[in-house]
Amino acid sequence: MNQPCNWPYPAVATGIGPMPGVDSREAMNIAAGEFADFIPLIELPARGPGADPVGRTAALLAEVDRSFEVETTPSGWRLGHTGQRVLARARGYLSEDFDALEEFAAGSGNAVPIKVAIAGPWTLATGIADPAGEALLRDGGAVGDLTEALAQAAGDLVHRLRRWVADDALVIQLDEDVVPRVLAGRVPMSSGRLAHRSVEPGIVQGRLRAVTAAIQAAGARVVIRCHAKQAPVDLLRDTGTDALAVDLGREQLDDEALPRAWEAGFGLLLGCVPIVDAASDTARSGDTALSARLRGFMSDHGFASVPANIAITPRGGLADISMAAARATISACARVGAVVRDERENADVR
């Protein structure tokens, strides 16, 4: 079990990562401008294979273990040694994104937290196929090897970022929306007619714990993000993570799991601001309307104001919407976060 920890960042709003477009600097300008208290590295999947979460993380894996080199297929990613070009492209995209992030982080004085997202072990195990075309998920040994490689790659990533990110300011986000389906045996096999067997909760938790521990040992904090329906909050919390990112609008397995997490001092990045159409009335609505879901949830659980260990995020990635809508949604998150911060500070004064 985790020991209670104190989430040290006073941030009130941040992003999940995915953004529309193909221009790293433009996207980082928007994200860093609105999320100046907690800057997320942007992801631009529209650039193609290698810019997606699985592809960019696979590029990191291949640097520490060549047996995890991947190639593209019509159905996605597969282990293979003919993908050097796409892996080189993935590394190029990542370097481009890091360059943009470094520029804006340096402008902030290197004092604010920086969040970088990678795919977690279960997302990789379901998103990468073996040479026969079946997800690595079917082979427990392969998942174990993948986890070891990811732990090393994640640690190396932390050391790389440490060259320009200030001490105590780096957060690695493990994206794991697939975990509920892995636990329930709802990940389809390549035929589409059958599903992979469910994985025991202890195994799911253990793989996540191994990667989390490696990241923390390298000197960064960890957020596990699961925006899926029925996210297993207690299971994820007990992996040793420092924080969780969940979609507040999704049904949870246990309605009291989130209150238990924030009462224990865990950081919670709550996806509570919906996608905002820049031309809609929602974009022009008051911040109280935009934060209604968050306020209702907090009130239902007896909190007069939003606790300090909670940050506001969009309810999902923004890659599949227009840049105008992405700007509007990010701005809405920042506005809600500012209102929450002011209310919290006023409550503290009283």
In the chain, what are the domain boundaries?
A: 24-256
Residue 288 tokens read as 């109280």
pLDDT of residue 1: 40
292-344 pLDDT tens trace: 778 788 888 887 777 788 899 999 899 999 999 999 999 999 988 887 777 76
Spatial separation of the C-alpha atoms in residues 285 and 67, rounded to whole Å: 52
Q: What is the pLDDT along the chain (350 residues), one digit of tens a residue?
A: 444 456 888 778 999 999 999 999 999 999 999 998 899 999 999 999 999 999 999 999 999 999 999 999 988 999 998 878 999 999 999 999 999 998 887 766 557 899 999 999 999 999 999 999 999 999 999 999 999 999 999 999 999 998 888 878 999 999 999 999 999 999 999 988 899 999 999 999 999 999 999 999 999 999 999 999 999 999 999 999 999 999 988 877 787 898 888 888 899 999 988 888 776 655 455 566 777 778 788 888 887 777 788 899 999 899 999 999 999 999 999 988 887 777 766 655 54
Does domain 24-256 bear CATH number 3.40.30.10?
A: no
Could you list the beta-strand ranges (E) of the chain: 39-40, 70-73, 76-79, 114-119, 128-129, 170-175, 221-226, 243-247, 267-273, 310-314
Instruction: Give the closest residue to 15 by CA, choosing from 33, 218, 265.
Output: 33
Residue 70: C-alpha distances to residues 58, 63, 150, 326, 335 (Å): 7, 11, 14, 31, 41
Q: What's the CA gap between 320 and 349, in Å, rounded?
A: 42
Single pTM value for the model: 0.93
